[in-house]
Amino acid sequence: MECIASKRDEITRGVTSIDSSSKDLLMSYMDVDTTKYKSLNPGDDKFLRDMILSFMIAGRDTTGSALTWFFWLLTKNPEVTTKIRQEINTKISPRTNNDSDHFSSQELNKLVYLHGAMCEALRLYPPVPFQHKSPTKPDVLPSGHKVEPSTKIENEIGMGEDASDFKPERWISETGSSIHVPSFKFLSFNAGPRTCLGKEVAMTQMKTVAVKIIQNYEIKIVEGHTIEPVPSVILRMKQGLKVMVTKRSNLV
């Protein structure tokens, strides 16, 4: 609330212009056209607080949670790390000291095995673990099941007897391309009108971080460190992820 009050003061004093092309997310909501979106009230500080807080939680904690579980799974499955490194070396152009550190979306899209590993980690440890739907009125599902407003419906991808195993190959077709799973089955980014707006951005961010770390470092879990999930709005590790990070001497 202090940040919102400070921003309003800056605009009033002319220090910051709400029409600026470089305005931040908070200013964008302050300048929203209420004739198009009547349910929004940019004059209400509580509305602005709740909206910005939602973006902070959705854009930071979920990505951090996903990467934490992803790297933990890699430490348990070193053969997956090896395959990802091989794919990076084969499909990503080598960088020189003069090159930018970022990767284009076209380059990242070539990393099919990395994408599969990311999706598999999200399937096993979704950052937002409780994703259920309830009807607003009595209805009948396509399967023929009758549901009431009090019914909580949860979806799960059928993965067979080895569903608890970490297998990126599940997400790769026989031709070597990524397998598309409908969002109503793979709910890590929600589905329908409530699909995460930042899905592609989040995947790009996580892949970029993964590539840079996997390319340049070895990660090992600290001996004796216990991994325990905490069921909450965001699926986090109770004690965090304690690791030993070593610079790779052989980057082949």
Q: What is the CATH number of the domain that holds 54?
A: 1.10.630.10
Using alpha carbons, select from 204, 121, 209, 213 the residue that is nearest to residue 168.
Answer: 121
Average pLDDT over residues 83-112: 82
Q: What are the structure tokens assigned to 75, written together?
A: 């430490």
Chain centre to alpha carbon of residue 153: 23
Question: Which pLDDT belongs to residue 153?
Answer: 78
Instruction: Residue 121: give the domain boundaries.
Output: 45-214
Amino acid at 216: N
- The sign of the dihedral angle between the CA atoms of 179, 55, 26, 209 is negative
User: Does any domain span residue 23?
Assistant: no
How many domains does the chain divide into?
1
CB 202 within 8 A of CB 62: yes
Give yes or no for residue 177 having a pLDDT over 90. yes
CB 207 within 8 A of CB 114: yes
Mean pLDDT, the chain, integer: 85
Beta-strand pair 229-230/146-147: unpaired
Give the residue numbers of the binding site: 196
Give the residue numbers of the binding site for heme: 196
Give yes or no for residue 156 having a pLDDT over 80. no
Using alpha carbons, select from 162, 140, 163, 143 the residue that is nearest to residue 151.
Answer: 140
- Which residue shows structure tokens 């090896």? 82
User: Does any domain span residue 68?
Assistant: yes
User: Does any domain span residue 14?
Assistant: no
- The residue with greater pLDDT, 80 or 106, is 80
Average pLDDT over residues 179-200: 84
Tell me 34's DSSP state. Answer: T
Q: How far apart are CA 125 and CA 118, in angstroms?
A: 10
Residue 154, strand partner residues = 132
User: Does any domain span residue 160?
Assistant: yes
Give yes or no for residue 100 having a pLDDT over 60. no
Confidence of residue 252 (pLDDT cuts 50, 70, 90): low
Q: What are the structure tokens assigned to 184, written together?
A: 């109503």
User: Does any domain span residue 252?
Assistant: no
User: Does any domain span residue 37?
Assistant: no
For the chain, give the percent of residues with pLDDT over 90: 42
Q: What are the structure tokens assigned to 199, written together?
A: 């899905």
Chain centre to alpha carbon of residue 143: 30
Average pLDDT over residues 222-246: 92
User: Does any domain span residue 148?
Assistant: yes
User: Does any domain span residue 9?
Assistant: no
